[in-house]
Amino acid sequence: MRNMLRIARWEFRNRVRTRSYLFNTFISPLIFTMLFLLPLYFTTHQPDTSVKLIGVIDLSPEKNIANKLSNALNRSYKLENTLSQYGIYTISIKNAPAYRELSSELKDIEAQYDSLNRLHNRIKQERTAYFTQKATPNRQFSLNRSYERLRKVREEKELVSIELQRYRTAMDSLYAREARVVADSMIINNVLSAYLLFPSDFIKSGRIEYHSRSTADLLDSERLEKTLQNLIIRSRLQELNLGTRKVRELMRPVHLDKYKIRGNNEESWNIYAQFYGPLIGVFLLFIAIFTSGGYLFSGMMMEKANRILEVLLSYAAPGEIMGGKILGLGTVGLTQVLIWLFITFLLNSGGIISGGSLSYLTFENALYFLLYFSLGYLFFGAIFIMFSSIFSNEYDAQQVNQLLRIVAIFPVLLSLLVVINPNSFWIRLLSYVPFLTPSFMILRIPLSGQPLTTDIIITTGIMLFSIAVIIWISGRLFRVTTLMMGKKPSWSEIIYWIRHSK
């Protein structure tokens, strides 16, 4: 027993001082965390580098929506450099020849209408004078004549008015058509990101057309929809003469605070922090298990190759050597985990990461991390000892090492499924497989809404049993196979050794 502690102490001292240990303790986790967080940072914080130009075709008589929209967007969406994220471009085709021609004709008709109108008014004034000045000679005749004129002028005016209306409608439709042609070409030439077409009655009907190259730019269309909704409702309210203050009060924005249901305590939910935190945890667990497990493996392989093991076997019992190595390198891993937990604690108390929003940063979960690290390390460590006893060829041994790493990191591939339902049947079943238990449980514990006490007890039991079985087999193989050199043993030989080892 004392020799076991001496061996453990030697292994610990010799490993903790190595450069690879320092790298795996401080640099690897940093790299892993960066790998996770950088893409996340960029997708959420990536600044829009250019202003998006949105075209506006306004067919309404007021022609003021473009201004209002521009102001509203300017208030709400700004770029890093404080420029507005959206620019509004009013599409005008007033200089287009067809429109200009129509427009000049319209002007003639309008002038005609105006003169008719003036004439109509003058006749009306004349008639008023005839009515009031009863002493006017030929009054009745004048009245009759003027009435005749008035009737004619009115008829003519109505005809011109119809003509005017016809021209206006034609012009509107021409305007809309021409403006759309212009706007479409501007989108195709990437001048505009999108354009909005406001029909003349859009305030009443609430229907606005949104044209863009692709309908997948959900973010933009949602923002425009939201802004326009506000503007239009504001206009409708203003028409009710409610007063600016009242309108502002009614238009007070609604903000959705997002919460996740967790038992009785509701707390805010951030998918990235909630998901990537445990995932980083799994990677750290993986680094810790395979750093110390890897030392165990490479150490055994080296000592086998240079025959130190034979010297050690002459000083200490095989059980003491195995136990000492597992204990010593386990302490190496445990130190690593404790360093990480300490760093997390420091970051948390220093306010660099917010423990308040990361509900899984609890003392209890730290203990679970230590538990599953210990179980995982003992399990994989015992397997490493077993394989390093069997293999004497570094190449074969490395293949096994790679295979074990892939198996252990496998739960990360299923991490999305764990997020969706951490307690589904298959996920639970897979957590009972000793190779996968530590990674799955470290993912599940923080993600699961309810306490996993039963699963923790079951998996701990399974792990302890598996560890006992593998250590027993390793122990039986260790004495016989560690001194074997050269050839790769067959399965029948391995079984023979397990059965006949003394």
Taking the complex as a whole, the smallest distance from the CB of residue 490 to other proteins amounts, in Å, to 9
Please work out the total of residues on this chain that contact other proteins, with binding judged by CB under 8 A.
25
Of the two residues 186 and 313, which places its CB atom closer to other proteins in the complex? 313
Name the residue type at position 380: F
Q: Which of 53, 187, 247, 317 touches other proteins by CB under 8 A?
A: 317
Taking the complex as a whole, the smallest distance from the CB of residue 290 to other proteins amounts, in Å, to 21
Burial class for 105, CB neighbours closer than 10 Å (0-12, 13-18, 19+) = middle
Burial class for 296, CB neighbours closer than 10 Å (0-12, 13-18, 19+) = buried
Of the two residues 14 and 103, which places its CB atom closer to other proteins in the complex? 14
- Within 8 A by CB and 6+ apart from 466, the residues are 379, 434
Of the two residues 81 and 314, which places its CB atom closer to other proteins in the complex? 314
CB half-sphere exposure, 311, CA atoms < 13 A: 6
Q: Which residues pair with 87 in a beta bridge?
A: 53
- Within 8 A by CB and 6+ apart from 3, the residues are 315, 316, 317, 320, 324
Q: Which of 106, 174, 316, 452 touches other proteins by CB under 8 A?
A: 316
Of the two residues 171 and 483, which places its CB atom closer to other proteins in the complex? 483
Length of the chain counted residue by residue: 502
315 interacts with other proteins by CB under 8 A: yes
Strands 209-212 and 265-268: unpaired
481 closest CA partner among 320, 318, 324, 290? 318
Of the two residues 422 and 489, which places its CB atom closer to other proteins in the complex? 489
Q: Which of 43, 264, 265, 314 touches other proteins by CB under 8 A?
A: 314
**Candidate ranges 7-15, 168-176, 326-334, 384-392; the one touching other proteins (CB under 8 A):** 7-15
Of the two residues 6 and 260, which places its CB atom closer to other proteins in the complex? 6
14 interacts with other proteins by CB under 8 A: yes
106 interacts with other proteins by CB under 8 A: no
493 interacts with other proteins by CB under 8 A: yes
Taking the complex as a whole, the smallest distance from the CB of residue 369 to other proteins amounts, in Å, to 31
Of the two residues 15 and 157, which places its CB atom closer to other proteins in the complex? 15
**How many Å apart are CA 98 and CA 419, to the nearest integer?**
61
Taking the complex as a whole, the smallest distance from the CB of residue 304 to other proteins amounts, in Å, to 9
Q: Which of 96, 150, 186, 313 touches other proteins by CB under 8 A?
A: 313
7 interacts with other proteins by CB under 8 A: yes
272 interacts with other proteins by CB under 8 A: no
Q: Which of 231, 282, 312, 452 touches other proteins by CB under 8 A?
A: 312
Strand order in the sheet with 194-198: 86-90, 52-58, 194-198, 209-212
Of the two residues 310 and 364, which places its CB atom closer to other proteins in the complex? 310
310 interacts with other proteins by CB under 8 A: yes
Burial class for 197, CB neighbours closer than 10 Å (0-12, 13-18, 19+) = buried
Of the two residues 229 and 306, which places its CB atom closer to other proteins in the complex? 306
- Within 8 A by CB and 6+ apart from 317, the residues are 3
Residue list 445-484, contact with other proteins (CB under 8 A)? 479-480, 483
Burial class for 398, CB neighbours closer than 10 Å (0-12, 13-18, 19+) = middle
Three-state DSSP state, 383: helix
Q: Which of 19, 252, 258, 502 touches other proteins by CB under 8 A?
A: 502
Burial class for 256, CB neighbours closer than 10 Å (0-12, 13-18, 19+) = exposed
Residues lying near other proteins in the complex (CB under 8 A) are found at 2-3, 6-7, 10, 14, 303, 305-308, 310-317, 479-480, 483, 493, 496, 502
